[in-house]
Amino acid sequence: MPPRPRFRWMALLIAGLLVLAGCVGGPAGSGPVAGGGKPSASSAGVLGDLRTFDPCSVADPAALARFGQVTDAGTVSLDYCLHRVQLADGSVVQVAVGELAESTPDQPGGGAPVVARGQFRVRQEPPLPGHCARDVLFDDGIAMRVSADLLSGDPGAGLCAVAETGADAAVGAMQQHRAGHRAYPPDSLAVVDPCTVLDSAVVHEVPGLEQTQPRSTPARHQCQWGEQNAESPRVRLVHTAGDPPRVLHGAAVEEEIAGRRTVVSIVGGDPSVPLCSAETGHIPFGDPAGRQVEVAMLVVAVPGADGIEACEYARGLAQSAWPRLPSSGGSG
């Protein structure tokens, strides 16, 4: 199997984590509802333990195949399932299914339409250039996101039709009680809330975050301090999975922090960008043949600084957080 383009996808992943993750569209009742339908159950009532929910159990590559050739894009997150679709015109679309987030209020007058799908409701988010999403709404203020992003090709590639198909397939899987779970060992990062790993008192040393409180996501795999916008300082600790962390460009370095092998990297490799990540590998994840591992990833943004300064803060936070991770039986 050829190596996955980790550098490109990790940059997209980190940007999404810091700008978009943790919130989706409008509240569960926003926008007009078309087609009636019964209220959906709570997220836990439908999916069970959100920490161990397997998002790939509600993804359906066969449903996406009507758009073109579908391939598994590999694991880059515990929170969503990723596929790529090569359309007939050569465009490549990436489809992410299953990420759970709190549903936040729309801007005034911006209510997105909501359509009924049996007991579920699906909010049709307005498309953005190269992006379209659908949110499956639960009645506890949590939504499951299905998104389609253009990686290459025609900007008019019909992304919303792809996202709609993915959302319909996820709804069908949940209606048929096919939501499944991963079996994590007791020392897995998946069952540890990252908000309990990093002490807020240490985060408060980052300029602009002196008073901030942590906010976790529904599956308890991500924790953020700071606001969700590019102008604000913020820290995010993510428990994820994928290829072992490695040095990908000249602005990254491998070092030992708190006894764990760690890759510290200025995001995108540009030292003028005040964004830095620190990653450490944990125990094996998934099929042993895939050689993937669980990963703890800290991302730090310090507007007004540069990447070198952001990485110094990332190192300090990792020094505090890594000893509170479950033992990996080695240096990570």
pLDDT digits (tens, 9 = 90+) for 178-200: 999 999 999 999 999 999 999 99
- Compute the average pLDDT of residues 174-178: 96
Instruction: Residue 125: name the closest of 104, 105, 111 by CA.
Output: 111
Read off the pLDDT of residues 25-44 as tens digits, 9 standing for 90 and up.
444 444 444 444 555 589 99
- Give Cβ neighbours of residue 27 (< 8 Å, ≥ 6 apart): 103, 104, 105, 106, 141
Could you give the CA distance from residue 276 to residue 301 in angstroms, rounded to a whole number?
7
pLDDT at residue 101, rounded to an integer: 95
Instruction: Residue 226: name the closest of 4, 17, 2 by CA.
Output: 17
pTM value?
Answer: 0.85
Instruction: Residue 13: name the closest of 84, 96, 70 by CA.
Output: 96
- Compute the average pLDDT of residues 138-166: 94
- Give Cβ neighbours of residue 5 (< 8 Å, ≥ 6 apart): none
CB count, 10 Å around CB of 49? 11
Please give the structure tokens belonging to residue 244. Answer: 């072992």
Provide the 3-class DSSP secondary structure of residue 317.
helix
- Give Cβ neighbours of residue 248 (< 8 Å, ≥ 6 apart): 6, 7, 10, 265, 269
- Which residue reads 């990332």 in tokens? 314
Instruction: Residue 6: name the closest of 240, 243, 222, 294 by CA.
Output: 243
pLDDT at residue 157, rounded to an integer: 78
pLDDT at residue 19, rounded to an integer: 39
In Å, the largest CA–CA distance within the chain is 57
* Of 79-88, 99-108, 201-210, the least confident: 99-108
Q: What angle do CA 193, 285, 55 make, to 5 degrees?
A: 65
Could you give the CA distance from residue 14 to residue 18 in angstroms, rounded to a whole number?
6
- Contact criterion met (CB below 8 Å) for 325 and 262: no
Question: What percentage of the chain reaches a pLDDT higher than 90?
Answer: 78
pLDDT at residue 155, rounded to an integer: 83
- Compute the average pLDDT of residues 138-152: 96
pLDDT of 24 over the 60 cut? no
pLDDT at residue 31, rounded to an integer: 47
pLDDT band per the 50, 70, 90 thresholds, residue 20: very low
Arithmetic mean of pLDDT over the chain: 88
Instruction: State the distance between the two ends of the chain, measured CA to CA, in whole angstroms.
Output: 24
* Of 4-8, 216-220, 237-241, the least confident: 4-8
Could you give the CA distance from residue 179 to residue 321 in angstroms, rounded to a whole number?
32
Instruction: Residue 76: name the closest of 254, 279, 234, 217 by CA.
Output: 279
Higher-confidence residue of 20 and 190: namely 190
